[in-house]
Structure 1
Amino acid sequence: MRVFIGRLAVGVVLVTAHPILAAGAVFARNVTKNSIYMASSLIARNDGIMTGEGGSSEPLQAGFTQKAFTALLDLYPGNDEVREHISASVDSVLPYLSNATENALSYPLDRLSNGNAMLSFSQQPLANAQTSAYTSGLEALRLSIDLNRRNQEDGLWYYTYPYWSYLDGMYSLAPFYTLYTVTQNNATTLNETALDDMAHQINLLWDHCLDENSGLLVHGYDASGTAVWADPVTGASPHVWSRSLGWYFMALVDTLEVLQDHRRTKQYREPLLHKFRSLATAVTQAVDPDTGAWWQVLDQAGREGNYIESSGSAMFTYALLKGARLGYLGPGNMSTASTQVAKRAHDYLTDNFVVREANGTLGYNGTVAVCSLNSTASYEYYISQPIKYNSVLGSAAYILASVEIESLQDKCAEA
């Protein structure tokens, strides 16, 4: 039996049918927190563990879980179950991503989402064999960027499709590329070539994919201009897919966060900040006024067949709240308006897509399985793709959004 739970009420008691929910001391301390409750449910389902049998999206599912759980640990430190699941997730991808030429390049740019956790683990005081494994995986991922195929403008191919670049890949590429670069350089040197390349990838997608009328970006572009969907001038695809834009939006805010802690990065921060603010304005304007969330195809709001999609909506919620919290939207009306929009969106997601399962775990509904430019990229294509219940791409995004909501609530409680 599945029950849509709405906003979790203070004092709710978790059903104890599942051992993690029954016995986990971590979750018992904060049973009313949406982020922790959903994270415990992902652990119960063994989500974010790569098996090699889940196709090309498996590295992203693992890396996105790692990132969401890391954000949760930043707010709620000391959660051993969450920390152990991050470790298990990283360990699960190592056999598939530890050789840049033989296996890492067999996956899309999404593979790089695992790099942040690998970098963290490689710096921890672990047994030599463990540290060596993490370091090998980390270096393979970094090398795979250099070996990745590129178009005539030096833009990275997202996957195997010739000359095609997607917004999607920036979430995995930009924060990792930046973090690796600033971490591996000492206090007096900075690998500007790598940071220049990171910024170049962000800029190429912006230049090719920006819709000047809405301020939103379409899914991707074909630098050769030969795809059936490619604009004859820009190579851009025709539609704004909410989740692909969500990946790009999150990439901007997460990369800005990495850069803010390091000197001599102003020339990279300011252009990214301009893009983030511009996109924040466009995203808040694109919200559906009736629901407070966002459409699957954002440039076709209200069109027959279109629907409110839960992963992209959660990503926008997270990025808006995080940007406001870190001061990227300023102290005034823009920050206030973005926060209000994001809070309403989170309420809608919780009321309409979070499901209490009979075993006491939480499910997450309304997430489109996958949309690829290896298609007609038509409106009919985007709205006809199946909905995947409990997709990690939706539930992990909801955890990130909930972490930001709970951080905001804690701040208000302290005021």
Structure 2
Amino acid sequence: MKKYLILTVLPFLLVACSQQQDNDAVIWSQRMVESHGLGDFYCNRHYQSKLDSTGWDYVSGLVAGAVLETWEQYPEKTEYYESVKAFADLNLNEDGSMILNSKGGSALRPSNIDDLPAGRIYFTLYKEELQKGNTKDAARYRKAVDLIRNTLKYNHSRIAEGLPGAGGFFHKAIYPNQMWLDGLYMGSPIYAQWESTFGKDNSVEYSASWDDIALQFKTIHQKTYDPEKQLNYHAWSATPADSNSFWTNKQEPFVGCSQEFWARGMGWYFAALVDVLEFMPRDHSSYADMLKITNQVAAGLKRWQDDESGLWYQLLQYDANMTADGQGDHIAGEIYNIGDEANYLESSASCIFTYAYLKGTRLGILDKESYRPVAEKAYQGILKEFLRENPDGDRIDIVKSCASAGLGPAKDPSRTGTINYYLAGKDVTVVENEGKAIGTFILASLEYEQLK
């Protein structure tokens, strides 16, 4: 009987090993850059034919940043660098004093944290152009990243003194006194990298800035982390009675929190923790707190990883048996989010979790023995579940991405934060070749390729 089982199972094991070897022979980061990173992708369902002609946005910035990191890892791919530089120049005025929108005005809207993270590309561009002796462009890029950091640190709206979470950055001006997990990725890493790159000359302000960065994470973690589920709720409001916070829980112990654990929101949060800790001084008084939070997040996501695929669902605490209820959400006499769509394995979150696990173990932030197997299993699952050969035969597509998700404000009562919303909401559609999946896949691939 044992001999029969071995003879039966062995061919399947050999095929699986052969498939992984074939996958590992492909430089997937480059394949995705050349399929969709340089163009032919979507930013929140808006089609972009070429990266170098795409406007300023956190999604286009994510794609550009991933393409730029691919060039850093494979510097012979000079066309990658040139495409990102063209994107950067298109969206910056002559002296670097203004990030531009499509109408020639400022792309940095008042207290909109989503407008900031694309600026992370300017650190690498600044360094590279300075080395080339192109001091004019280097100065422009330095001025641009200074502008973004200062806009966040000095001008961005914060939760006021006297309210819970005082000092926390608003997610956006239209969401007063609200912090979302997404916002930690949008603001904190560029703030942290600026301090590490340019902030050390002023020791007092440098220390205060790191206090400020740590405050954002400690605040949102305290408010949104559910120790029983080991997950963070998508968002939290310091003023849950405000009409823009209609989606909040009104009962203890999670007053002000949204109702569900949204995968990509936690992905942005996990990546933000790892990206910030890459730059944070280890002797800072909050470093240990940040490390503890990161490891709590890592442990929780490991718990909710799908055993079979190695991936994660759109709503983390459920599997595919969870569906929207078909009845919709009843708000002020109206019904929204009607449907019976099932929970699904989601690509962008699975990619960014994989990136954060791999980078965290590489940097020594996370334990390799505990978490590298999680990431490696996830990466193989991504290749199997989410990548498709394009009909043209030359390119790959990435599928099963959530287009977008949010909460409120009052003028949009459909964004309820319920199970119905995350599975059947009008803006929460399942799409392919979305930049949020393309960029995170490239980043995960770059980390995986460093293991070889």
Which of 219, 222, 225 is the equivalent residue of 1:207?
222
Q: Structure 2: which 5+ runs fail to align?
A: 1-17, 41-48, 161-165, 324-341, 409-414
Aligned counterpart, 1:36: 30
Residue number in structure 1 paired with 2:285 = 267
Change over 3 Å in CA distance of 1:102–1:377 after alignment to 2: same
Cα deviation, 1:14-44, whole Å, max 9, x if unaligned, reads xxxxxxxxxxxxxxxx982111100111214
Which of 117, 120, 124 is 2:124 aligned to?
A: 120
Contact kept? 1:246, 1:316, Cα under 8 Å: yes
Task: Give the drift of 1:265.
Answer: 4.1
Describe the shift of the 1:215–1:93 C-alpha distance in structure 2 as closer, same or farther (beyond 3 A).
farther
Q: What is the CA-CA distance between 1:174 and the residue it aligns to? A: 1.5
Of all paired residues, the percent bearing the same amino acid is 26
1:131 maps to which residue?
A: 138
1:150 aligns with 2:158: yes
For 2:336, the equivalent position in structure 1 comes to: none
Q: 1:240 aligns with which of 261, 264, 270?
A: 261
Deviations 1:81-121 (A, max 9, x none): 2211221232233257269x954125731222122221332
The structure with more helix, counted as a fraction of residues: 1
Alignment of 1:317-356 (within 5 A): 317-330=354-367, 335-356=368-389
Contact 2:52–2:84 (Cα < 8 Å) also in 1:
no
Instruction: Give the equivalent residue in structure 1 for 2:423.
Output: 383
For residues 83 and 350 of structure 1, what CA distance do their matches in structure 2 show?
26
Tell me the distance in 1 between the aligned counterparts of 2:20 and 2:318: 32
Aligned to 1:366: 400
Contact 1:297–1:382 (Cα < 8 Å) also in 2: yes
Instruction: Report the CA distance between 1:48 and its aligned residue.
Output: 4.5
Superposed CA offset, 1:278-314 (max 9, x none) = 1111111111122211010112334131111000011
Higher normalized contact order (CA 8 Å, seq sep 6+, divided by chain length): 1
Q: Please tell me the residue identity of whatever aligns with 1:357.
A: N
Q: Which has the larger radius of gyration?
A: 2
Partners of 1:97 and 1:137 within 8 A in 2: yes
2:66–2:443 Cα contact (<8 Å) kept: yes
Counterparts of 1:350 and 1:178, CA distance in 2 = 32
Map residues 15-414 of structure 1 onto 2, 5 A cutoff.
32-41=26-35, 42-45=37-40, 46=49, 48-49=51-52, 51-52=54-55, 59-94=57-92, 97=99, 102-106=106-110, 108-123=112-127, 124-125=129-130, 126-145=133-152, 146-152=154-160, 153-159=166-172, 160-186=174-200, 189=203, 191-226=206-241, 227-232=245-250, 233=252, 234-259=255-280, 262=281, 265-302=283-320, 303-304=322-323, 305-330=342-367, 335-359=368-392, 360-374=394-408, 375-384=415-424, 385-408=428-451, 410=452
CA distance in 2, matches of 1:157, 1:194: 17
C-alpha distance in structure 2 between counterparts of 1:337 and 1:326, whole Å: 14
The 3 A distance-change label for structure 1 pair 136 and 75 is closer
Question: Is the Cα contact below 8 Å between 2:111 and 2:157 reproduced in 1?
Answer: no
Contact 1:31–1:37 (CA under 8 A) maintained in structure 2: no
Cα distance in 1 between the residues matched to 2:69 and 2:134: 25
Do the aligned partners of residues 354 and 68 (structure 1) sit closer, same or farther apart at CA in structure 2, a change above 3 Å counting?
Answer: same
8 Å Cα contact 1:63/1:111 also seen in 2: no
Aligned letter for 1:185?
Answer: G
1:199, distance to aligned residue in structure 2 (A): 0.8
TM-score where L is the length of structure 1? 0.83
Instruction: Identify the residue that residue 20 of structure 1 maps to in structure 2.
Output: none
Deviation, structure 1 residue 47: 5.4
Cα-Cα RMSD: 2.5
TM-score between the two structures when normalised by the length of structure 2 = 0.76
Q: Go from structure 1 to structure 2 and tell me whether the alpha carbon gap of 1:128 and 1:329 turns closer, same or farther (over 3 Å shift).
A: closer
Runs of at least 5 residues in structure 1 that lack an aligned partner in the other structure: 1-5, 13-29, 53-57, 411-415
1: CA distance between counterparts of 2:51 and 2:180?
Answer: 23
Displacement of 1:71 = 3.1
Using the TM superposition, give the Cα deviation of residue 378 of structure 1 relative to its aligned residue in structure 2, in angstroms: 0.8
* 8 Å Cα contact 2:351-2:444 kept in structure 1: yes
What's the CA shift for 1:166?
0.9
* Preserved CA contact (<8 Å) 2:120 2:190: yes
User: CA 1:7/1:62 → structure 2, altered by over 3 Å: closer, same or farther?
Assistant: farther
Any conservation in 1 of the 2:403–2:430 contact (CA below 8 Å)? yes
